[in-house]
Amino acid sequence: MEDLTTTGVADTVRLTTSGAATARAVVDAALARIAAHDGGLNAVSQLVADRARADADRLDADRAAGRAPGPLHGVPVVVKEELAVEGLVTTFGGEGNSTPAAADAEVVRRLRAAGAVVVATTTMPEFGAWPYTESSSRGYTRNPWDRSRTPGGSSGGTAAAVASGMVPVGLGGDGGGSIRIPSAHCGLFGLKPQRGRVTSAPHEHLWFALGTAGPLARSVLDSALVYDVVRGHTEVDRWQAGPTRSFADAARREPGRLRIGWTTKPVTLGVRPDPVHVQAVHDTARLLADLGHDVREVDPRYPDPTAAFVPQFLGGIRAEADLVEHRGRLERRTRETCRLGAWVTPRVLDKALALTEKVSEKANRVFDQVDVLLTPAVAHRPAPVGVIDGKGTVRSALAAMPAIAYAALWNVAGNPAAAVPCGPAADGLPVAVQLVGRTDDEATLLSLGAQIEAARPWPIVAPAYASSTGAGAA
């Protein structure tokens, strides 16, 4: 009997394709873990148990008939509730929609085509506006490492589900750090890919040039395996990334000797990083030097991304709010955000997008000196739940600054960036650093992240959930 709580993507596929476990047994085990643990975490928004079991049975029948399995055969996954899942309401974290989606978003379709089984959608703050997963509709989502703390956001539901062992992997989104922040808070590996690497279809964009979808996973290889399934643009997408190699191959390959620059200087003025995070950067820099890399402190001379970021942030939320069926059901803070963003006209957005290119050019100058930039992933420790409870747009934005202080620039610049776990700190909560790569160079981040993972293994799931329900091979 395998304990599927700690089994990742690659090992799950090994079990389901070898006959050591059926897809149905794996899915039933995931559903049992959700039933056992979600009441204390509030990670799941909509459960799709009946369809998940039917999809798993179909996969088992296909295998029995000799049909070739997909690369994610029988892997249970969760999907952030901003991505359309056929038959479920695309809630965007609120109550603005009521009609179930007629079709999957393209990334969800690709997951299913590869053999993954969608078991649930996951909680998020409305429209993903904040790096804390709480809202008047969904309440608080809690961190599996300490349920009095936030898992971060906006992909906090996905992070909590994966970090607690409910599923091996889940889809999130990142428009200002929303894959990396919850990954950092929950001890996961979370890569924001290059702009245009993952399709936003059926939509032309996600928050214009800022956003992308992607997995949150418990290992570098698991993330890479999922990216190799979901990456690739369509004719719908406004932005398209450049060519790249297999992500899974990159995660299995040594990175070679790299020039790595480190800094603890935040992009956001007035934000001071927690000493725990400063120490994590110093410790990781020493580890990388011991591994043979050329490691040096650098001054990235960050450009100010505010004038490029804010119009796209406000315009993105307004665009999504315009799509919902029941605008009057949006939470008060969201309606306030839309009002405050009324000045973001198409002309303003065009200027912001033009400025985005200038910010990207300036931000990328650091890569004239180094191959990878090492920074803190976030400035603060995971905060108590309720960070933005009762706050309006402006106060919520101020509360968000420590979370996005190192992350949001790279949404504007478009570069790949990853949160890499460092293990728990003295307070018992996870710590992470951020690795930032050159344009289109996710491969180096995956190779380097896997090398760090091998040299400094991190806990697979939050300790309180590490011996949860497994499954037999029935």
Q: Which residues contact 8 (CB under 8 A, 6 or more apart)?
A: 168, 169, 217, 218, 219, 221, 222, 460
178 is catalytic: yes
Tokens 């001054």 sit on residue: 299
Q: pLDDT at residue 375 above 80?
A: yes
- Residue 2 belongs to a domain: no
Q: pLDDT at residue 217 above 90?
A: yes
Q: pLDDT at residue 151 above 50?
A: yes
The pLDDT tens digits of the residues spanning 77-89 come to 999 999 999 999 9
Dihedral Cα 44, 195, 255, 284, nearest 10 deg: -60
Q: pLDDT at residue 144 above 50?
A: yes
Mean pLDDT over 168-196 rounds to 98
445-456 burial, b at 16+ Cβ within 10 Å, e below that, comes to bbbbbbbbbeee
Share of the chain above pLDDT 90, in %: 96
Mean pLDDT over 278-302 rounds to 98
Task: Choose the catalytic residue: 80, 223, 396, 468.
Answer: 80
Rounded Cα–Cα distance for residues 363 and 305 (Å): 9
Nearest Cα neighbor of 390 from 316, 331, 324, 308 is 331
- Residue 52 belongs to a domain: yes
Q: Computed from CA positions of residues 219, 121, 211, 178, in that sequence, does the dihedral angle turn out positive or negative? A: negative
Using an 8 Å Cβ cutoff, are 309 and 412 in contact?
Answer: yes
Share of the chain above pLDDT 70, in %: 98
191-410-245 Cα angle (round to 5):
45
Using an 8 Å Cβ cutoff, are 219 and 5 in contact?
Answer: no
**CATH code at position 152:** 3.90.1300.10
Task: Choose the catalytic residue: 178, 200, 223, 447.
Answer: 178
- Residue 472 belongs to a domain: no
Q: pLDDT at residue 65 above 50?
A: yes
Task: Choose the catalytic residue: 45, 154, 200, 396.
Answer: 154
101 class by beta-carbon count within 10 Å (0-12 exposed, 13-18 middle, 19+ buried)? middle
Mean pLDDT over 252-264 rounds to 98
Domains in the chain, number? 1
Helix segments in 143-204, DSSP class H: 156-163, 180-186
Tokens 């200027």 sit on residue: 351
The pLDDT tens digits of the residues spanning 321-369 come to 999 999 999 999 999 999 999 999 999 999 999 999 999 999 999 999 9
Rounded Cα–Cα distance for residues 266 and 123 (Å): 29
Q: pLDDT at residue 468 above 60?
A: no
Q: How confident is the model at residue 220 (pLDDT cuts 50, 70, 90)?
A: very high
Q: pLDDT at residue 471 above 70?
A: no
Rounded Cα–Cα distance for residues 135 and 426 (Å): 30
Rounded Cα–Cα distance for residues 387 and 430 (Å): 19
The torsion region of residue 432 among left (phi > 0), alpha (psi -120 to 50) and beta comes to beta
The pLDDT tens digits of the residues spanning 381-393 come to 999 999 999 999 9
155 is catalytic: no
Rounded Cα–Cα distance for residues 113 and 115 (Å): 5
Q: How confident is the model at residue 1 (pLDDT cuts 50, 70, 90)?
A: low
pTM above 0.95, yes or no: yes
Q: How confident is the model at residue 291 (pLDDT cuts 50, 70, 90)?
A: very high
Supply the pLDDT for residue 473.
40
Supply the pLDDT for residue 5.
86
451: which 2 tokens? 């090398």
Helix segments in 219-343, DSSP class H: 220-230, 247-251, 275-290, 306-321, 332-340
Q: Which residues contact 133 (CB under 8 A, 6 or more apart)?
A: 123, 124, 125, 140, 141, 150, 151, 152, 153, 154, 155, 156, 157, 160, 182
Q: Computed from CA positions of residues 78, 83, 89, 91, in that sequence, does the dihedral angle turn out positive or negative? A: positive
Q: pLDDT at residue 214 above 50?
A: yes
Mean pLDDT over 205-227 rounds to 97
- Residue 1 belongs to a domain: no
- Residue 440 belongs to a domain: yes
Q: pLDDT at residue 224 above 80?
A: yes
DSSP 8-state secondary structure symbol assigned to residue 231? B
Supply the pLDDT for residue 472.
42
Question: How many CA within 13 A on the CB side of residue 323?
Answer: 16
148 is catalytic: no
230-236-241 Cα angle (round to 5):
55
CB atoms within 10 A of CB 55: 22
Mean pLDDT over 209-231 rounds to 98
Nearest Cα neighbor of 232 from 264, 198, 261 is 198
Rounded to the nearest integer, the mean pLDDT of the chain is: 96
Supply the pLDDT for residue 269.
87
Angle formed by the axes of helices 9-18 and 220-230, nearest 10° = 70
Beta bridge mates, 260: 295, 372
Mean pLDDT over 35-54 rounds to 98
Rounded Cα–Cα distance for residues 163 and 321 (Å): 30
What is the DSSP secondary-structure string of 61-103? HHHHTTPPPPTTTT-EEEEETTS--BTSB--TTSSS--SBBSS
Mean pLDDT over 230-258 rounds to 96
Mean pLDDT over 125-142 rounds to 96
Structural domain for 282, as ranges? 9-465
- Residue 458 belongs to a domain: yes
- Residue 306 belongs to a domain: yes
- Residue 471 belongs to a domain: no
